[in-house]
Amino acid sequence: MCGIAGIISSNPSEEDLRKMLEKQAHRGPDNTGSFLDAGFAAIGHNRLSIIDLSADANEPFSDNSGRYYLTFNGEIYNYKELKEELKDFYDFRTSSDTEVLLAAYIHWGKNCLEKFRGMFAFGIWDTEKKEFFAARDRFGVKPFYYTFKDDSFYFSSEIKALQIIPGTDRPNEKVWANYFTYGTYGMPEDTFYENISQLPGGHSLQFSYREITIEKWYDFKAEVAKIPSGYSFEEAKKKYYNLLKESILLRFRADVPLGFNISGGVDSSLLLALVNLFGDKKNIKAYTFFTGDERYDELPWVEKMIATTDNPLSRIKFSSEDVEESSKFMSKAQDEPLGGIPTLAYSGIFKQAQKDGIKVLLDGQGMDEQWAGYDYYFKNMDAGSTIQGTGSGIPFRKNALASDFAALAEKPSYPQPFDNKLQNMQYRDLFFTKIPRALRFNDRVSMTYGVELREPFLDHKLVEFAFAMPAEFKIKNGIGKYMLREILKPLVPEDVSYAPKRALQTPQREWLADELTGFTEENLNKLKLSPVAAWFDFSEIEKEWKAYKNGDNESSFHIWQWINAALIFRD
């Protein structure tokens, strides 16, 4: 897990590249490297060493001929198997997955992407053809941002690295208007900044002679269609369980200490059970956060599960006193709006892991989307809502926006490539709403502390298989993730396997109106003085804030949106 950066230009500035790498130095504390092809390209890299810790695997990494230079962020988990395929075609000099990726590209071209099981964003500079090729993994676990300036192409792992370039800090007002009106975070190519784009997950990019070509290399619908139909429930359960074990085992490949995150839900329980299937992993450390509020804390559930495995457990407490400092720090780290106080609490896990010398954590992201775990998949609810933990209330306040700014908002429309409502909702959440948003939060949170986060449940083989299963395997008697719960049932106490879905929460609603009243009002006042004050109707904000303090607080998301905007635009 690292940071990548580069400039493709007739006059690439080494000084600009240095500044870009400094902006995202936290992503790669182990080494910073660069390569200059004068008059054509400057390629850089921030390294977090996970596999092959030697200096031989530092990047930008060149092939044996010196023609290609690679900068790579992520992990190719099946690199050992691919290396075996490639050994007759390439003379390997390291034990890194980085070299395997480059050898695969040299041998198979862009078709190498289909062979990778992993998370990745990378760029390859061809010094002979003077062409740049980049790609992003299937679900966009690893980020790739880019911009143009004066016929020059810039790319990086974080938005802040591109904002050394004048004009790149101008907000994308339509994305912001949609965020305040509908809670969306933009389409896959969007960012919250007007002149910065992102390469969507499952896409590749080629830049040659000032021309950019973007192609979709991962066709999810086509891959799902390849899954055979007609599995019985027991056959499908066995097949998926074997895929799960394979995915976990692949993600144990590392030359550094590993740990994992755990909450009290079904997904974390399964992760815990799977980790402990492998005898040499039973001492792997678990991390969880709590607030001390029994209405929200999952610590009792976590401790009950851990008691069955005896894994070491690190409990990280997050209190209202931590919010102010953490929110300022994480808003800067995220570059774009973050999810709320639960994201701040979650960040404490990575801070502690860094102190403990843990460089890789496993997390249970992705099961709700592939096995239909959210309420709106099977209840008569607004299928457009993707904000959890807001009760039945509307989590947005369009009335608090200035009319001309509100007019920019346009309710997003998402593709519906499948012939049924359930799969189309799952598809939306996988590629447009829930997963992209969570992955961005998670990447920034983890990399801020130089910790690699791995999501074994987002292995594409797992997701494709689960997605292809019939609705009755996913939902039964009004309960989502049915097959997953049946897989988990013999591994943990039954009240854990059939525990209801709980959003990862903190007492955000109560804290903002009580312990954090001063913090909230301070930021609402700062919003009035911010560069984006013209976006808001502050008389309406005052009315909403007064109503919130008086008990109209079923949802706190709109309050957090205003606070977060004040924090982002405070400078």
Mind telling me the catalytic residues? 2
- Number of neighbours of residue 491 by Cβ within 10 angstroms: 18
Strand order in the sheet with 285-290: 313-317, 285-290, 258-261, 360-362, 452-454
102 Cβ contact partners less than 8 Å away, ≥ 6 residues apart:
61, 63, 68, 70, 124
Backbone φ, ψ for residue 512 (5° rounding)? -60, -35
- Number of neighbours of residue 190 by Cβ within 10 angstroms: 17
- On the CB side of 118, CA atoms within 13 Å amount to 29
Euclidean distance between the first and final Cα of the chain, in Å? 30
> Do residues 331 and 445 touch, judged by C-beta distance below 8 A?
no
The Cα 246–Cα 274 span in angstroms is 10
> Do residues 559 and 548 touch, judged by C-beta distance below 8 A?
yes
Alpha helices (runs of H) in 277-407, residue ranges in sequence order: 299-306, 323-334, 341-356, 367-371, 403-406
Whole-angstrom Cα Rg for the chain: 23
Ramachandran assignment for 398, one of left (phi > 0), alpha (psi -120 to 50 degrees), beta (any other): alpha
19 Cβ contact partners less than 8 Å away, ≥ 6 residues apart:
164
> Do residues 151 and 129 touch, judged by C-beta distance below 8 A?
no
The Cα 365–Cα 546 span in angstroms is 36
> Do residues 182 and 396 touch, judged by C-beta distance below 8 A?
yes
The Cα 91–Cα 311 span in angstroms is 41
The Cα 213–Cα 198 span in angstroms is 14
Our separate counts of H helices and E strands in the chain read 23, 17
- Number of neighbours of residue 540 by Cβ within 10 angstroms: 15
Which helix or strand (DSSP H or E) is residue 119 part of?
Answer: strand 118-126
> Do residues 104 and 82 touch, judged by C-beta distance below 8 A?
yes
The Cα 299–Cα 321 span in angstroms is 20
Q: Is 97 annotated as a binding residue?
A: yes
Q: Which residues pair with 4 in a beta bridge?
A: 45
Q: Show the tokens assigned to 229.
A: 């139909």
Alpha helices (runs of H) in 43-142, residue ranges in sequence order: 79-86, 97-108
Of 221, 184, 183, 185, nearest in space to 202 by CA:
221
> Do residues 115 and 104 touch, judged by C-beta distance below 8 A?
yes
Which helix or strand (DSSP H or E) is residue 395 part of?
Answer: none
Q: Show the tokens assigned to 309.
A: 């495995």
The Cα 321–Cα 10 span in angstroms is 51
Can you say which residues are annotated as belonging to the binding site? 97
Can you say which residues are annotated as belonging to the binding site for L-glutamine? 97
